[in-house]
Amino acid sequence: MNGTNGTVRAKRKQHPSSVTERPQKQHRAINGKESAGQNTPEIGTMYADEEIEIEDARILPGMADTAEWQACIENVVRNVVSIRFCQTCSFDTDPALTSEATGFVVDAERGYIMTNRHVVGAGPFWGYCIFDNHEEVDAYPVYRDPVHDFGILRFDPKAIKYMPVAALPLRPDLAKVGAEIRVVGNDAGEKLSILSGVISRLDRNAPEYGDGYCDFNTNYIQAAAAASGGSSGSPVVNIDGYAVALQAGGRSDGAATDYFLPLDRPLRALRCIQEGKPITRGTIQCQWMIKPFDECRRLGLAPEWESAVRKGFPKETGMLVAEIVLPEGPSDNKIEEGDVLVRVNGELLTQFVRLDDILDSSVGDKVKLMLQRGGEDIEVEVEVGDLHKITPDRFVSVAGASFHNLSYQQARLYAVACKGVFVCEATGSFRFESTDNGWIIQTVDHKKTPDLDAFIEVMKGIPDRSRVVVTYKHLRDLHTLNTSILHIDRHWSSKMRLAVRNDSTGLWDFTDLADALPEVPPVPRAASFIQLENLQYPAAADIVRSFVRVLCHMPVKLDGFPRNRKWGMGVVIDAEKGLVVISRAIVPYDLCDISITIADSIIVEGKVIFMHPLQNYAIIKYDPSLVDAPVQSAKLSTTHVTQGASTYFVGFNQNMRIVIAQTTITDITAVAIPANSGAPRYRAVNVDAITVDTSLSGQCGSGVLVGEDGTVQALWLTYLGERSPVTQKDTDYHLGLATPTLLPVIQQIQRGENPKLRMLSVEFNAIQMSQARIMGVSEEWIKKVALDNSSRHQLFMIRKRTFERGEEGGALLEGDVILTLNGKIITRVSELDVMYDHEVLDAVIVRDCVEMSIKLPTVSADDLETDRAISFCGAILHKPHHAVRQQISKLHSEVYVSARTRGSPAYQYGLAPTNFITHVNGKPTPDLESFLSAVVGIPDNTYFRLKAMTFDNVPWVITMKKNDHYFPTMEWIKDSTEKCGWRRVTYEQGKPVQGEGHDGINVISGETFEMDENLGGL
């Protein structure tokens, strides 16, 4: 199986020619041009690529074959299909992913295809098959084995019109050592891959792939291959054209060895399906391994039993030995690890196939086992359980996360009891401090949750916005009981939804379990602040009473912002009104939940009041009537600090502890925060940044610079920068912002006004006089600069224009040097603030060495923030946000792809973040309204055409298939009448439904949560 999305299933190799996320300009990927970088925001959990063993399709050089083999291959190829599929959400051992694999037709009349279980997956599957003549047909899962690596898909044979569909007969009996075989794969439905080999072993134990899905309790066939590779789910055929095994895995270290699954159990399952019988699967919850006779002897196998077995099975070289016995299972306290299996129901037994046969026909009954333990005969009677009952076929989504009962697969992998509530999608409210998967919930709100039904009942009784204590363990460390306090969200994801597998349709059916309970009204709480000790100036110590902790959780990814949860310290600027100023690296947009913690004691909800378009701060508000604590409004300085001045640095380190140092201001300079090339997101421009002489400044993302009298001279903020192409981590800059800059906006907000800012839509760059002279600035102006600003001789040049819709003439151009605005020479960044309250500015500029006077129109900053977003086929679309316009010279459309979900059609067909959609089925879509009207009427599960333009101006056309069942079309609209500020509309069969619809995997559950290393964990 190949992964095409960079998050291929853990323990599976990447396809050697996998599509890179951001090809070089003008380079087209196979299915269109993607312009997204590795740092584009994805909705979905990251999985580290590791060395892995389950095979991908690999192209082999053509080899000379006999006429017999060529005739055989020609017949086989018609039955082999390429499978392209999505596993639409994380479930059990499988992450959400998009991938490709191979299968082959085993029943042409009914339309059944055999492939691997790790292709069909344990959870929701959505895919299609491509035949050798490039006809395409939808495929639906009929069966996936709970343990063994095979699954069966169903297709409609009548849909194949241009070639006869034939089936490959399954002949497990023809797999013999020394037999020459071919593995016929289908790579991406385009090129055939044929692997030549010879069967070398029939009695290999199932390969272990580490974490994730593994086969066990079966022998595997090993082939010494002439070349490495083959595609998952490919048929292994002999010269007569019979399928003798199923390609399943191989070595990833380059050795020419492949592993095939014997077809005994797949053949039985196929016959049961054909006859309409249930496929019974029995288990005693014990893993067996084939061990050679010499090892069995060391374990205590008596010579008489070895003699009896060798006589009964002359070709056998080993016996079955108990490897893992699951606690609390049927075999617990009856079978022990290291026991050698001799007889089952009185029959001598050495092979997995016969053991499976007996167990599968004895579900609900008992079997008698005779074991050798240290040379003694031990007879036990064990009840055979139903393997399907301990394989989850349902999950519940609530509060943005998904849960199901722990599977036999996971229990066997970690040798734990097969019970408990497993978090298959640890997102939303249940995003724990580690991004690792494998959590088992023990209690919620002090109530035990031994299974999914108990968990559902507990969650039904928890109101929206509650904070509850949750205890949980990790499968790898059951010794440690972790405790967290979680904020339960039942407003962004208000429905508790049960998804149940339906093998007759091949889909998962969604049912709403319970409506969310309304939140309990908050009550006023009292608290007191800590007191700082040994501080020379008591006035500076009072600043502690102005700090509050702000946690921002963003349920939907907008504006290219890479994270879903951020925290930092805010400064209270008006305690009476409950106004707090916070960095925009913490609160990037207002589709969010904000929790404000005061005095480390009182938690209140906050909402966004104002977001500055350029200066990296937002103002949020809480209800002061709920806070009975001596919160103090920070006294903001009205004068700018100077270089070399002494100040106190008061910051918060990664442990959320307050740290203080007396220090000196080392520099005040105009900074240019680098733009993020892969996915434009908010960054500060046209600001002066303050740096200080203390190592604490690099460790603290939040704080203030405060004078001896307690006046706040500057805010210490986190500035989000670019993503490093080497480490793939976001760069954060920690810098000071002088408080006088904030005062005009804060005073308007305190008066109850909504600030209406104007701005010049350009990014400035400071230039020195040596550069200014070359650019045509006269000696007279250079003298004026020296007189105006003795500490820094600089002017400002236009580095980049922001693209404006309907741009007027007479605007500034790149390379222009600003001399004056409204008669005032401009040598400091703060002097540019004159633009915020003027519709037109009189400017003197130098352009191409010519001094000229022009009138500069400013633009309104009112409509810069995103106020509407659409979730379509797993992609989040909205109008291009301000950061996009700062980095682009032309907008191709108002429909911009901001993010996408793993395992979605957007991911499968390559619709990448930073693309613009210009047409749907040939109709122009200049804005979100026209896009929505074009896509809502497209029938479910049908193809449509999108015309897109990359960020680099490369047009391309993509065909996509719509999937309303798992990824319904949804709209998020800003609405001040709603409590959380936004409302949702879902489109079902083309009709709008207010709120969440009836189908669909929770869009919120697909988040990634990357905590800033410099700000610590939650």
Looking at the annotation, which residues are catalytic? 118, 149, 231
**Interior angle at CA 12, CA 7 and CA 17, nearest 5:** 70
Give φ, ψ of 768 to 5 degrees: -85, 170
Reported residue count of the chain is 1018
HSE of 280 in the Cβ direction (CA atoms, 13 Å)? Answer: 14
* HEC assignment per residue over 422-433: EEEECCHHHCCC
Secondary structure E strands in 151-190: 151-154, 180-187
Of 701, 695, 692, which Cα lies nearest the Cα of 652? 701
Here the tokens at position 132 are 């050798």
Residue 903, C-beta contacts closer than 8 angstroms, at least 6 positions apart = 44, 86, 87, 88, 89, 96, 97, 98, 874
Of 655, 545, 542, 568, which Cα lies nearest the Cα of 620? 568
Rounded-to-integer distance, Cα 25 and Cα 954, Å: 8
Q: Which contiguous run of DSSP H or E holds residue 691? A: strand 687-692
Following CA atoms 950, 951, 952, 957 in sequence, which dihedral angle do they give, to the nearest 10 degrees?
10
CB 681 within 8 A of CB 588: yes
Cα→Cα distances 307→304, 322, 516, Å: 5, 20, 67
Helix, strand, coil percent content, the chain, rounded in steps of 5: 15, 40, 45
CB 953 within 8 A of CB 964: no
Sequence letter at residue 155: F
Rounded-to-integer distance, Cα 213 and Cα 410, Å: 8
Rounded-to-integer distance, Cα 157 and Cα 139, Å: 11
Pairing of strands 702-706, 646-652: antiparallel
Buried/exposed 246-276: b ≥16 CB within 10 Å, e otherwise: bbbbbebeeeebbbbbbbbbbbbbbeebeee
CB 629 within 8 A of CB 679: no
Buried/exposed 438-448: b ≥16 CB within 10 Å, e otherwise: bbbbbbbbeee
Residue 838, C-beta contacts closer than 8 angstroms, at least 6 positions apart = 758, 822, 858
Of 611, 629, 630, which Cα lies nearest the Cα of 619? 611
Secondary structure E strands in 858-922: 859-860, 868-872, 875-878, 896-901, 916-920
Site of tokens 């009104």: 577
Rounded-to-integer distance, Cα 795 and Cα 781, Å: 10
CA dihedral sign of residues 968, 973, 975, 980: positive
Sequence letter at residue 92: D
Buried/exposed 25-41: b ≥16 CB within 10 Å, e otherwise: eeeebeebbbbbbebbb
Residue 442, C-beta contacts closer than 8 angstroms, at least 6 positions apart = 420, 448, 449, 471, 472, 473, 481
Sequence letter at residue 220: Y
Residue 378, C-beta contacts closer than 8 angstroms, at least 6 positions apart = 339, 370, 371, 372
Of 271, 275, 9, which Cα lies nearest the Cα of 117? 9
